[in-house]
Amino acid sequence: MIKQDLNALEEKSIYIIREAKLKFKNIAALWSMGKDSTTMLALTRKAFMGKIPFPVIHIDNGIDFPETYDFREELAKKWNFKVIVGHSEIKPDLVGSACCGKNKPETLKKIMAEYGFDALIVSIRRDEHGIRAKERYMSPRDEKFRWNYKDQPAELWDDYTSKLDTKGHIRVHPLLDWNEIDIWNYVKRENVPVNSLYFSRNGFRYRSLGCTHCTVAVKSNAKNVDGIIKELETTKIEERSGRSMDKENEYVMQRLRQFGYM
Amino acid sequence: MEVKSITLLGHKDHGKSTLIGSLLMQTGAATKVRIKEAEEYSKRMGKAFEPAFILDSFAEERTGEMTIDTTRAEIKYKNLAFALIDVPGHEELIKNMISGASYGEVALLLVSAKKDEGIRDQTKRHLFLSRMFGIEDLVIAVNKMDTRNFDEGSFLAVKKELSGFIGRIGFDTKRVTFVPISAYSGENLVKKSRKMKWYKGEPLIEALYESARRKKKQGNGALRLLVQGTIDDGAGIIGGKIVKGHLSAGEKIAILPQDQHAMVKEIVVKGKKVKKARVGENVAITLDKRMRFEMRGSVISNTDEKPRLTNKIRAKIFVVNKPGKSLCLKFNGIDLQCSGIKILNSINSVTGEKGPAKAESLNAIEAEIELEQKLPVEEFETTKELGRFVLYSGNEFTGIGTIL
């Protein structure tokens, strides 16, 4: 896994986060309480003099890990930002990708409409998945949240020129260039608080966090950030190997994202 | 680790994605899962293993065997990391190609040496565009040498034919390296090929390394701070990025196009107060007086070395779609209406030659554009960030321009 220059990554992300805030009228960010979106919040504080000047959305289907809820409450208090919780309901007939593709986006749609957000910061990274690597830094979604990946807008230089469809919104991806190991190196350097589930307990840890239904722990003895970094330096296993929905079909991520998955 | 961006160029089917796939495997950057997935998919298609599937991830890209949109993959070599930017080679997808190509620091062009493939219009058009983007260092990989029994003659033929064009569109031929390869069978990529002993140069990855390390041209170092906007209205804090020079607390500065002068009271970089901020840094600054105008799109410079302030610019424009009635110019974060455009001449992107004053898609023009308000601009060669723009007609992407 390639370790990139953290200062360069940091500057670019700060630029994009500021651009999102200053270009659009009413923005929000998605927060899963995972390492990536928490790093995004840390970067936002650097961009805006220690503040997080937009609300943060958690789409909660009620089956996240208890540690995840605790982490949400602690950090929101510590860093003083507004959390909007969207409650989605788990339907027993929808499992795996069908659940991810439907429940969470439907709840998010309601929140986006209720608050009138025109842009949403999402902390995806290219190295997570080949489909995510195809994303732009700023990418339009139509009113049904669809991603028209066959005709993405031109995006040149620092000018993220996406045209806004009046009824849709723009997804902003400030962490697109980061690799998994960069996130952990940054967490270490900046002391970014992280969910305790990432650290090994009884020989297992979570490498990528979703809800309790679809996330499985991977074998690991990494008990702290240093241990994780060491593990990532040599691993040949993919980050999302513990996310069961990715494996149902080779194009599941493409379809999920096409229909609004985050 | 420092990352250098390398844009892949070339006609469709000349092997861009295959090359990146092979490089990912040979340098150990591709994960087992990705390789296995590509293996399985190749098998299902009834094909021999296709390294391009490691990269092309859309269903349509695999079944159609073509790259639709740009993507990025990283490899490590010596003390550098290369971010390889794959772009589509199809003519209709030039908008996506331009998006990927605009991030490159070095260009890697692929030309197929295979019979009936060779140098195509799109090969030259991509070179033309990369030069327009300011790329100075170029590696040309003559691919599919396996189909020519690794014969030196076919390599030299491509080299000879392209050399003239490269010089004509403004590349310094000393900064252009030709390497014969086979992306599919992996010859001469990371290790010197035994099948082409006549080739005395370095393998591809070393040629890329040398190009990436070469110093890039830079204009003078006068301060250029591009303002993104006011990040804290109450405290009057302005956010922006230094693209050239440096800024010190206490310094007198000019704000353009408003042509106001002020003194810098405080500079904050990444949440920390600093005395001096440098090129590449995103700053938050406070001035000794409050500015009552919209700051987004303004440029901050020294008071004695300001950029040119004008509402008339002369530019080279690569036309993707023919311009409609109204033209909108996107420059430094703001949108401006053009009140007039006068085409001076066209430039054929395939021959590099000038022609009659007519805008045609996939070719360039030189034109004078009149804007409804003044802008702080510089020549692209002097300060890239203040010398480039994007053109739209209504909602349609028209093209890109560089200021002459």
pLDDT digits (tens, 9 = 90+) for B96-113: 788 877 878 899 999 999
pLDDT the model gives residue A248 = 53
**Contact at 8 Å (CB) between B316 and B265?**
no
Q: What's the confidence (pLDDT) of residue B66?
A: 66
Same domain for A225 and A119? no
In single-letter form, the type of residue at position B7 comes to: T
ipTM above 0.90, yes or no: no
Which residue in the set A53, A126, A161 is minimally distant from B390, CB to CB?
A: A161
CB–CB of B71 and A50 under 8 A?
no
A165, pLDDT greater than 60: no
Picking from B6, B37, B67, B231 by the largest number of A CB atoms within 10 A of its own CB, the best residue to mutate is B231
Of B303, B293, B279, nearest to B236 by C-alpha is B293
Residue B259 pLDDT: 94
Q: CB–CB of B266/B273 below 8 Å? A: yes
For B16-36, what is the mean pLDDT?
86
Asked if residues B33 and A241 have their Cβ atoms less than 8 Å apart, the reply is: yes
Same domain, A222 and A132: no
The answer to whether residue A15 sits within a structural domain is yes
Highest mean pLDDT among A159-168, B69-78, B321-330: B321-330
Location of structure tokens 């290219």: A126
Mean pLDDT in residue range A206-214: 76
Residue A79 belongs to a domain: yes
DSSP one-letter string for A192-210: ----GGGS-BTTEE-SS--
Q: Measure CA of the first residue to CA of the last residue in chain B; give whole Å.
A: 35
Say if A209 falls within a structural domain: yes
List the alpha helices (DSSP H) in B113-151: 121-132
Per-residue burial over B41-65, b if 16 or more Cβ lie within 10 Å, else e, is bbeeeeeeebbbbbbbbbeebbeeb
Number of Cβ within 10 Å of residue A165's Cβ equals 14
> Phi/psi at B19 (nearest 5 deg)?
-60, -45
Tokens representing A23 are 């270009």
Distance between CA B310 and CA B312 in Å, rounded? 5
Q: What is the pTM of this model?
A: 0.90
- Asked if the Cβ–Cβ distance from B282 to A47 is below 8 Å, we say yes
According to the model, what pLDDT value does residue A184 have?
96
**Per-residue tokens: A115:** 């608050």
What is the per-residue pLDDT for B216? 74
Measured between CB atoms, which of A2, A136, A163 is closest to B81?
A: A2
Residue of chain B minimizing CA distance to A15: B282
Q: Is residue A129 part of a domain?
A: yes
What mean pLDDT do residues A59-66 have?
Answer: 83
Band of pLDDT at residue B371, cut at 50, 70 and 90: very high
Considering chain B, what percentage of its residues have pLDDT values greater than 70?
95
Q: Does the pLDDT at position B296 exceed 70? A: yes
Q: How far is CA B212 from CA B78, B135, B263, in A?
A: 12, 11, 39
* pLDDT at residue B55 greater than cutoff 80: no
- Say what the pLDDT of residue B155 is: 97
User: How close is the nearest chain B Cα to the Cα of A106, in Å?
Assistant: 24
Identify whether the C-beta of residue A74 lies closer than 8 Å to the C-beta of residue A229.
Answer: no
Q: How many CB atoms lie within 10 A of CB B131?
A: 17
A184 domain residue, yes or no = no
The reply to whether A111 and A204 lie within a common domain is no
**Mean predicted confidence (pLDDT) in A79-88:** 94
Q: Are residues A205 and A88 in the same domain?
A: no
Are A119 and A213 within one domain? no
Per the CB < 8 A criterion, the answer to whether A30 and B243 are in contact is no
Nearest-angstrom CA–CA distance, A197 and A33: 11
Q: How far apart are CA A156 and CA A136, in angstroms?
A: 10
Kindly list the residues from chain B whose CB atom is less than 8 angstroms away from the CB atom of residue A150.
Answer: 60, 68
A:B CB pairs within 8 Å? 138
Q: Are residues A127 and A201 located together in one domain of the fold?
A: no
Give me A91's structure tokens.
Answer: 């339907």
Report chain A's mean pLDDT, rounded to a whole number.
85
What pLDDT sits at residue B17?
A: 86
Beta-carbon separation of A18 and B239 below 8 A = yes
Residue B363, both tokens: 């070719």
Q: What is the pLDDT of residue B219?
A: 59
Chain B positions in Cβ-Cβ contact with residue A15 (cut-off 8 Å): 228, 241, 282
In a domain, A120, yes or no: yes
Q: State residue A237's pLDDT score.
A: 73
Residue A66 pLDDT > 60: yes
Order of strands, edge to edge, in the sheet holding A83-87? Answer: A83-87, A56-60, A27-30, A119-121, A169-172, A138-141
How large is the average pLDDT for residues A56-74? Answer: 89
B365 vs B71, which has greater pLDDT? Answer: B365
> Which helix (H) or strand (E) covers residue A185, if one does?
helix A180-190
pLDDT of residue B404: 95
pLDDT digits 0-9 by tens, B80-100: 999 888 877 776 677 778 887
Interchain CB distance below 8 Å, A22 and B228: yes
Per-residue pLDDT at A132 exceeds 90:
no
> What gap in Å lies between CA B362 and CA A175, rounded to an integer?
33
Residue A82 pLDDT exceeds 60: yes
Euclidean distance between CA atoms B245 and B299, whole angstroms:
13
Amino acid identity for residue B327 in this structure: L
Q: How far apart are CA B112 and CA B143, in angstroms?
A: 5
Residue in B1, B59, B392 nearest the CB of A4: B1
Residue type for position A141:
R
Q: B269: which 2 tokens?
A: 């970089």
Short-list A15, A36, A18, A20, CA closest to A169: A20
**B72, B96, B284: residue with CB nearest A126:** B72
Same domain as A56, residue A157: yes
Return the residue of B nearest to A125 by Cα: B72
Contacts 24+ apart (CB under 8 A), B356-362: B359/B317, B359/B319, B359/B322, B359/B323, B360/B319, B360/B322, B361/B319, B361/B320, B361/B321, B361/B322, B362/B91, B362/B94, B362/B125, B362/B319, B362/B320
| Chain A contact probe: residue of B39, B282, B298, B331 with most A CBs at under 10 A | B282
Kindly state the average pLDDT of the residues B147-165: 95
Backbone dihedral angles phi then psi of residue A256, each to the nearest 5 degrees: -60, -45
What is the C-alpha to C-alpha distance for residues A3 and A10, in angstroms, rounded to an integer?
13
What is the pLDDT at residue B102?
80
Type of residue at B370: E
Query: Rounded to whole angstroms, how far apart are CA atoms B169 and B327?
Result: 27
Spatial neighbors of B320 by CB under 8 A, at least 6 apart, are A154, B94, B95, B98, B361, B362, B397, B398, B399, B400
- DSSP state, residue B62: H
Inform me whether the pLDDT recorded for A98 exceeds 70.
no
- Based on the fold, state whether residues A129 and A230 are members of the same structural domain: no
Q: Which of A93-102, B149-158, B207-216, B391-400 has the lowest mean pLDDT?
A: A93-102
Mean pLDDT for the stretch of residues B251-273: 96
> Is B270 close to A46, i.e. CB distance below 8 A?
yes
Give residue-wise pLDDT tens across range B163-175: 999 999 999 999 9
User: Among B3, B59, B98, whose Cβ lies nearest the Cβ of A254?
Assistant: B59
> Whole-angstrom Cα distance, residue B183 to residue A250?
25
If you count them, how many residues does chain A have? Answer: 262
Q: What is the pLDDT of residue A215?
A: 74
Is A186 part of any domain? no
Angstroms from A43 CA to nearest CA on chain B: 8
- Greatest alpha-carbon span in chain A: 51
Tokens of A250: 């080779």
**Residue B330 pLDDT greater than 70, yes or no:** yes
In a domain, A187, yes or no: no
Query: Are A74 and A157 contained in the same domain?
Result: yes
Looking at the predicted structure, is the pLDDT value of residue B375 above 60?
Answer: yes
Residues A48 and A78 in one domain: yes
Domains in chain B, start-ordered, CATH in brackets?
2-213 (3.40.50.300), 224-302 (2.40.30.10), 308-403 (2.40.30.10)
Shortest alpha-carbon distance between residue A18 and chain B (Å): 7
Q: What is the DSSP letter of A126?
A: G
A253 and A228 together in one domain:
no
- Other CB atoms within a 10 A radius of the CB of residue A49 amount to 15
Residues 6+ apart with CB under 8 A from B66: B12, B13, B56, B88, B89, B90
What is the pLDDT confidence band of residue A101, given thresholds at 50, 70 and 90? Answer: low
Q: What local confidence, expressed as pLDDT, does residue B31 receive?
A: 77
**Measured between CA atoms, how close is B275 to chain A, in angstroms?**
16
How many domains does one find in chain A? 2
Question: pLDDT tens for residues B199-227?
Answer: 999 999 999 999 999 887 665 689 999 99
What is the reported pLDDT for B316?
96
Two structure tokens written together for B384: 């890239």
Per-residue model confidence as pLDDT tens digits over A235-254: 777 777 666 555 555 566 66
Inspect the interface and report whether the beta carbons of B390 and A154 lie closer than 8 Å: yes
| CB nearest to B99's CB, from A48, A156, A254 | A156
Comparing A129 with A230, the larger pLDDT belongs to: A230
Q: Tokens 């200021």 correspond to what residue?
A: B403
pLDDT digits (tens, 9 = 90+) for A8-38: 999 999 999 999 999 999 999 999 999 999 9
Whether A156 and A219 map to the same domain: the answer is no
In this structure, what CATH number is given to the domain that contains residue A47? Answer: 3.40.50.620
Asked whether the beta carbons of residue A158 and residue B385 sit closer than 8 angstroms, the reply is yes
Query: Containing domain of residue A230, as a range?
Result: 195-246
pLDDT, mean over chain B: 91
3-state SS assignment for residue B392: strand
